[in-house]
Chain A
Amino acid sequence: MSHAYRAVGWNRQKKVYDRILTLGVILFLGLFMGVGALLRPNATAETLMIRGFGAAAFLLLHVILSIGPLCRLDPRFLPLLYNRRHMGVTMFILAALHGLLSLIQFHGFGDVHPLVSLFTASDSYGSLAWFPFQPLGFGALVILFLMAATSHDFWLANLGAPVWKALHMSVYFAYALLIGHVSLGVLQAETSPWLALPVALGLAWVLGLHLVAAGTEARLDRDVEGVEFEGLVDVCAVHDIKDKRARIVCLDGERVAIFRYDGKISAVSNACQHQNGPLGEGRVIDGCITCPWHGYQYEPHNGSSPPPFTEKVPTFDVRIRQGRVLVNPDANAPGTEVSPALIDFADKGAPDA
Chain B
Amino acid sequence: MPESDSNEFYVGYHPTAPLGVARRTRSFVIAALLCTVGLALVLAKGFGPLPRATFEFGSLRTFEGTISTTPYPALHVPRPGVIDGAPWTSRYHIVAPFKFGADAAVAEFDGKHVRLKGTLVHRDGRTMIELVPESLEEIPGLALSPEGPQSLGEHSLIGEIVDSKCFLGVMNPGNLKPHRACAVRCISGGIPPVLCVRDTDGRAEYFLLVGENGEPMNKAVLDYVALPLEITGEVERLGDQLILRASAESFRIL
State which of A189-197, A332-340, A343-351 sits at the interface with chain B: A189-197
Q: A79-B21, A281-B1, A290-B11 are in contact. Are A117 and B189 (CB under 8 A)?
A: no
Q: Decide: B184 and A290 in contact? CB cutoff 8 A.
A: no
> Smallest CB-CB separation from B33: which chain A residue?
A24
Q: Decide: B51 and A42 in contact? CB cutoff 8 A.
A: yes
> Smallest CB-CB separation from A123: which chain B residue?
B223
CB distance from A244 to the nearest CB of B (A): 8
Instruction: From the candidates B1, B24, B39, name the one contacting A198 in the complex (CB within 8 A).
Output: B39
Instruction: From the candidates B9, B51, B97, B99, name the one contacting A285 in the complex (CB within 8 A).
Output: B9
Instruction: From the candidates A24, A33, A36, A184, name the one contacting B36 in the complex (CB within 8 A).
Output: A24
Q: A105-B171, A290-B9 are in contact. Are A185 and B178 (CB under 8 A)?
A: yes
In the complex, chain B residues whose CB is within 8 Å of the CB of A303: none
CB distance from B187 to the nearest CB of A (A): 10
Residue A78, interface by CB 8 Å: yes
Q: CB-defined interface of A271-294 with B at 8 Å, one 1/0 digit per residue?
A: 000000010111101000010101
Q: A36-B44, A36-B47, A194-B42 are in contact. Are A105 and B32 (CB under 8 A)?
A: no
Residue B40, interface by CB 8 Å: yes
Instruction: From the candidates A1, A28, A110, A220, name the one contacting B1 in the complex (CB within 8 A).
Output: A220
State which of A10-18, A91-99, A147-155, A305-313 sits at the interface with chain B: A10-18
Report the interface size for chain B: residues with CB under 8 A from the other chain: 58
CB distance from A80 to the nearest CB of B (A): 8
CB distance from B82 to the nearest CB of A (A): 31
CB distance from A166 to the nearest CB of B (A): 25
Q: Decide: B43 and A195 in contact? CB cutoff 8 A.
A: yes
Q: Decide: B180 and A122 in contact? CB cutoff 8 A.
A: yes
Q: A248-B1, A294-B12 are in contact. Are A122 and B181 (CB under 8 A)?
A: yes
Residue B52, interface by CB 8 Å: yes
Residue B88, interface by CB 8 Å: no
Cα A39 to Cα B50 with chains together (Å): 9
Q: Decide: A107 and B181 in contact? CB cutoff 8 A.
A: yes
CB distance from B184 to the nearest CB of A (A): 4
Residue B177, interface by CB 8 Å: yes
Cα A325 to Cα B89 with chains together (Å): 98
Residue A164, interface by CB 8 Å: no
- A40, A133, A186, A285 — most chain B CB neighbours (10 Å): A40
> Smallest CB-CB separation from A44: which chain B residue?
B172
How many residue pairs between the two chains, A and B, have CB atoms under 8 Å in the bound complex? 182
Q: A79-B12, A133-B177 are in contact. Are A111 and B1 (CB under 8 A)?
A: no
Residue A118, interface by CB 8 Å: yes
CB distance from A11 to the nearest CB of B (A): 5
Residue A145, interface by CB 8 Å: no
Residue B132, interface by CB 8 Å: no
Q: Decide: B47 and A40 in contact? CB cutoff 8 A.
A: yes
Cα A292 to Cα B18 with chains together (Å): 14
Cα A194 to Cα B41 with chains together (Å): 10
Cα A62 to Cα B34 with chains together (Å): 16
In the complex, chain B residues whose CB is within 8 Å of the CB of A281: 1, 3
Cα A195 to Cα B42 with chains together (Å): 8
Cα A185 to Cα B180 with chains together (Å): 10
Q: CB-defined interface of B167-208 with A at 8 Å, one 1/0 digit per residue?
A: 000011100111111101110110000000000000000000
In the complex, chain A residues whose CB is within 8 Å of the CB of B49: 40
Q: CB-defined interface of B3-36 with A at 8 Å, one 1/0 digit per residue?
A: 1100001111111110001001100110011001
> Smallest CB-CB separation from B179: which chain A residue?
A106
In the complex, chain A residues whose CB is within 8 Å of the CB of B52: 42
Cα A32 to Cα B46 with chains together (Å): 11
Q: A105-B171, A107-B182, A130-B177 are in contact. Are A11 and B45 (CB under 8 A)?
A: no
Which of chain B's residues 31-85 have a Cβ closer than 8 Å to chain A? 32-33, 36-37, 39-53
Q: Decide: B9 and A292 in contact? CB cutoff 8 A.
A: yes
CB distance from A211 to the nearest CB of B (A): 17
> Smallest CB-CB separation from A282: which chain B residue?
B9
Instruction: From the candidates A111, A184, A220, A245, name the one contacting B99 in the complex (CB within 8 A).
Output: A111
Cα A108 to Cα B4 with chains together (Å): 53
Q: CB-defined interface of A54-87 with B at 8 Å, one 1/0 digit per residue?
A: 0100010001000000001111111110110000
CB distance from B183 to the nearest CB of A (A): 9
Cα A198 to Cα B10 with chains together (Å): 32
Cα A293 to Cα B37 with chains together (Å): 29
| A-B residue pairs in contact (CB < 8 Å), sample of 9 | A31-B44, A42-B172, A44-B172, A73-B2, A110-B189, A122-B180, A189-B178, A193-B46, A295-B13
